[in-house]
Chain A
Amino acid sequence: MANSNPNGTTGLQLALAWGFVGIPLLWGVIQTIGNAMALFR
């Protein structure tokens, strides 16, 4: 949906929303990869 409306979603809102879920998920994935590495040691 194009964002020509001044009341529309801003890039900052999108970044905040994705960061809100993305950062914890990334943290969890990194933790899991660290544990999974034991399989290849």
Chain B
Amino acid sequence: MTYQTAAADGGFLSRSRTIAKPGYSRWMVPPAALCIHLCIGQAYALSVFNLPMTKLIGITKSAPEDWKLTEIGWIFSIAIFVLGASAAIFGRWVEEGGPRRTMFTAGLCWALGFFISAAGVHVHNLWLVYLGYGVFGGIGLGLGYISPVSTLIKWFPDRPGMATGMAIMGFGGGAFIASPLSVFLMKQFSTPTHVGVEEAFIGLGVVYLIFMWVGAAIVRVPPAGWLPEGYTPPVTAQKLITKNDVYVYDAIKTPQFWLIWAVLCLNVTAGIGVLGQASAMSQEMFPGRVTAVAAAGFVGLLSLFNMAGRFFWASISDFIGRKYTYFCFFALGTVLYALVPWTGRIGSITGFVLCFVVIISMYGGGFATVPAYLRDMFGTRYVGAIHGWLITAWSAAGVFGPVLVNYIRQFQIDNGVPKAQAYNTTMYIMAALLVIGFLCNFAIKAVHERFHMTRDVEEAQAAVGVAGDPAGA
């Protein structure tokens, strides 16, 4: 063993210890990835704690010393901001350290976030919750989100879209588990003098730590040069699928990276605003016909299509290509957004629901298809790190989307537009955003060869066990 290989062999968590032995089935990797994404997907269900956290002192109703809903809202905002920042900052570390070390760290940060937050609830200090869920949880989110992506792409070179779609589907599905589980835990630990948030946080932290560490234990990376049985990489070069790798910090200098950034940001902006306002929108567009309970059902339905769309569209992209998949999102999305006001005018709830379930499936599909798009453009070597940088588009969209929907609606109402029609302008603006997205996607061409890593650099990195090439293999 050389000095370099000894250095690379950093114990159970090291990349070299995760190299698959002969006979390992690649179908073990998607459940490992799902262990992570199903846990961090809890972020979508954080709102179930909002009201209970406003009654920690008052118990049945908010006391003057209780936290305000607006203050609690910052927990999620900080977590999403830190998610984007940590994915960008630690992306290269994720890629070079391997999936097990990253998943292990993500699990630790995510669970620690819940434990610190539980302490914050216990001593009634909101800053501790910001630090716990917002900062530590946010780092767990960022690391966890990107950790299995490049591993899946390497195991499934024949179906990279489907493979990453499966993992990212888990992020959409995480809320389905977290929401009823959180309510159950709070119910178990609540008493007439206590709301049970603290114990629910501890319970979730323990469950998520176990789940994520199981994922870290079973994940493996393929040996160098491994290919699935019966799969032969295409001999003829395809225009938009590179055979070269681009270094992460070179990738972010390319116009292609920023065009894909804009494509993701615009696709997410269009969906995220609707997701946040779905309940109110359905009730206001169909007053007296959609009750609060039915609106909650509509939100649940959107979540299901958000999750299913991640797997469906990412899998489709393996057959029609990433660029055409995004063309579908933008063209179909533009038509559907433009149709929404019409469904309101004719009073068609079915039409309204159909439009939005397809729109939301494409919102989820946009998240799930983008890692494979990055692989096509920049190669597999640094795809996880580049994906980390791209996640900042999500953070930006998280600000633009809700602001666009909320402020435009309010502006309309302030100018005397009836509530039932207050969303019409927003829908047309969303459609316009998707047209811009279509143009950005249209402008994406193959990355110029001056950005490609040279063979010398790749071999030097492989010698020190960097990014996918096991030093001791």
Contact = CB atoms under 8 A, between A and B. Distances in A.
Interface stretch (B24-32, B63-71, B437-445): B24-32
Interface stretch (B299-307, B400-408, B428-436): B299-307
A36 B31 contact: no
Given A3-B23, A14-B25, A20-B31, A37 B177 contact: no
A14 B176 contact: no
Interface string A1-26: 11111111100011001101110110
Contact of B21 (A8, A17, A39, A40): A8
Given A1-B228, A17-B28, A25 B173 contact: yes
Contacts of B38: 21, 24-25
B305 to A, nearest CB: 10
A37 B300 CA distance: 9
A33 to B, nearest CB: 7
Nearest to A34: B300
Nearest to A4: B23
Nearest to B34: A21
B297 A31 contact: no
B301 A8 contact: no
B338 to A, nearest CB: 23
Interface size class of B (residues with CB under 8 A): 35 or more
Contacts of B293: 38
A22 to B, nearest CB: 8
A14 B24 CA distance: 10
Contacts of B177: 24-25, 27-28
Given A1-B25, A21-B170, A28 B180 contact: yes
A31 B116 CA distance: 29
Contacts of B34: 21, 25
Nearest to A10: B25
A36 B176 contact: no
B214 interface: yes
B22 interface: yes
Contacts of B20: 1
Contact of B28 (A2, A14, A32, A41): A14
Given A17-B218, A21-B170, A36 B21 contact: no
Given A5-B21, A28-B180, A32-B303, A17 B297 contact: no
B23 A39 contact: no
Given A21-B170, A25-B173, A36-B298, A3 B25 contact: yes
Contacts of B399: none
Interface string B274-298: 0000000000000000100111111
Interface size class of A (residues with CB under 8 A): 20 to 34
Given A8-B22, A25-B38, A36-B297, A13 B28 contact: yes
Interface string B215-238: 000100000000011000000000
B28 A9 contact: yes
Contacts of B27: 9, 14, 18
A32 B176 CA distance: 7
Given A1-B22, A1-B228, A29-B304, 14 more contacts: A2-B229, A7-B23, A8-B22, A14-B28, A18-B27, A21-B38, A22-B31, A25-B34, A25-B173, A27-B177, A28-B173, A31-B180, A35-B300, A41-B294
Contacts of A37: 297
Contacts of A21: 31, 34-35, 38, 170
Contacts of A18: 27, 31
A7 B21 CA distance: 8
A19 B303 CA distance: 22
A2 B175 CA distance: 35
Contacts of B21: 5, 7-8
B353 interface: yes
30 contacts: A1-B24, A1-B25, A2-B23, A3-B23, A3-B25, A6-B23, A7-B23, A8-B23, A9-B24, A9-B27, A13-B25, A13-B28, A14-B27, A20-B31, A21-B34, A21-B35, A25-B38, A25-B170, A25-B173, A28-B180, A29-B304, A31-B179, A35-B297, A35-B300, A36-B297, A38-B294, A39-B290, A39-B301, A40-B297, A41-B294
